[in-house]
Amino acid sequence: MLGAAITRRVPATPAREPRRSVRVAGAAAVPPPSYWDALEPLLTRVRKPAQYVGGEHNQVARDWGAADTRWLLCYPDTYEVGQPNQGIQILYEVLNERPRTLAERAYAPWVDLEQLQREHGIPAFSLEHHRPLWAFDVFAVTLPHELGHTNLLNLLDLGAVPIHADARGVEDPVVLVGGHAAYNPEPLAPFIDAAVMGDGEEVTLEIDDVLAAWKRDHLDGDATPGPEARRDLLRRLADVEGVYVPAFYEPRYHDDGRLRQTVAVEPGAPALVPKRTVQDLEQWPYPRKQIVPMTETVHERFSVEIFRGCTRGCRFCQAGMITRPVRERRPETIQKLVEDGVRDTGFNEVGLLSLSSADHSAIGAVARDLADSYEGTTTSLSLPSTRVDAFNVTLSNELSRNGRRTGLTFAPEAGSERMRAVINKMVSEADLLRTAELAFSEGWRHIKLYFMVGLPTETDEDVLAIADLGIRTYEIARKHGRANKVTISVGGFIPKPHTPFQWCAQDPPEEIRRKLSLIRHAIKDHGGLKLRTNDPEEGVIEGLLARGDRRVAPVVERAWKLGARFDGWHEMPTLETWMQALEETGVDLDWFSSRERDEKEALPWDHLDSGLDKAWLWEDWQDAQADKELDDCRWSACYDCGVCPGLSIEHDTGYTGGFQLPVLPQGLGGGSQELPTAPERYASDG
Partner 1 sequence: MVQRYRIRWTKEARTRFISARDLTSVWERGLRRVDLPIAYSEGFTPHPKVSFPDALPVGFASTGEYAELTFAAPIVPDRDLARLSDTLPAGMDITTYLAVPDGAPKLARMLRATLWELVWPPVDVAELTTLLTRRCDELLAQERAEVVRHRPDGDRTIDVRPAVLALAASARPTAGGDACTVLRAVLRNDGPTVRPTDLHAALSHEDIAEPALYRRVAQGEPVDGGLREALSAAVVPLVPDVDAEAA
Question: Residue 287: is the preceding peptide bond cis (ω within 30°)?
Answer: yes
What part of residues 401-430 is at the interface with partner 1 (CB under 8 A)? Answer: 403-404
**b/e per residue 186-223 (b: at least 16 CB within 10 A):** bbbbbbbbbbbbbbbbbbbbbbbebbbebbeebbeeee
Q: Which of 10, 50, 60, 649 binds partner 1 (CB under 8 A)?
A: 50
Position 348 contacts partner 1 (CB under 8 A): yes
Give the nearest distance from C-beta 292 to partner 1 in angstroms.
6
Name the residue nearer to partner 1 (CB basis): 402 or 580. 402
Position 53 contacts partner 1 (CB under 8 A): yes
Name the residue nearer to partner 1 (CB basis): 52 or 92. 52
Give the nearest distance from C-beta 343 to partner 1 in angstroms.
7
Q: Which of 3, 227, 267, 527 binds partner 1 (CB under 8 A)?
A: 3
Name the residue nearer to partner 1 (CB basis): 484 or 533. 484
DSSP per-residue letters across 239-260: TSTTEE-GGGEEEEE-TTS-EE
Give the nearest distance from C-beta 289 to partner 1 in angstroms.
12
Name the residue nearer to partner 1 (CB basis): 39 or 675. 39
Residues sharing a CB contact under 8 Å with residue 625, sequence separation 6 or more, in sequence order: 422, 456, 457
Give the nearest distance from C-beta 300 to partner 1 in angstroms.
7
Position 649 contacts partner 1 (CB under 8 A): no
Name the residue nearer to partner 1 (CB basis): 272 or 294. 294
Give the nearest distance from C-beta 51 to partner 1 in angstroms.
9
The answer to whether 467 and 453 are in contact (CB under 8 A) is no
Name the residue nearer to partner 1 (CB basis): 228 or 685. 685
Q: Count of residues for the chain?
A: 686
User: What are the contacts of 628-636 at 24+ separation with CB within 8 A?
Assistant: 628/421, 629/421, 629/424, 629/426, 630/313, 630/424, 631/313, 631/426, 632/311, 632/312, 632/313, 632/669, 633/311, 633/313, 634/311, 634/326, 634/359, 635/668, 635/669
Q: How far is CA 406 from the centre of its chain?
A: 27
Give the nearest distance from C-beta 291 to partner 1 in angstroms.
12
Give the nearest distance from C-beta 14 to partner 1 in angstroms.
24
State the binding string over 294-323 for partner 1 (x if CB under 8 A, else -).
xxx---x-----------------------
Position 373 contacts partner 1 (CB under 8 A): no
Q: Which of 14, 19, 35, 56 binds partner 1 (CB under 8 A)?
A: 56
Give the nearest distance from C-beta 46 to partner 1 in angstroms.
10
643: left (phi over 0), alpha (psi -120 to 50) or beta: alpha
Position 6 contacts partner 1 (CB under 8 A): yes
Give the nearest distance from C-beta 685 to partner 1 in angstroms.
8
Name the residue nearer to partner 1 (CB basis): 49 or 270. 49
Question: Residues in the site for partner 1, rule: CB under 8 A?
Answer: 1-6, 41, 43-44, 48-50, 52-57, 292, 294-296, 300, 342-348, 378, 403-404
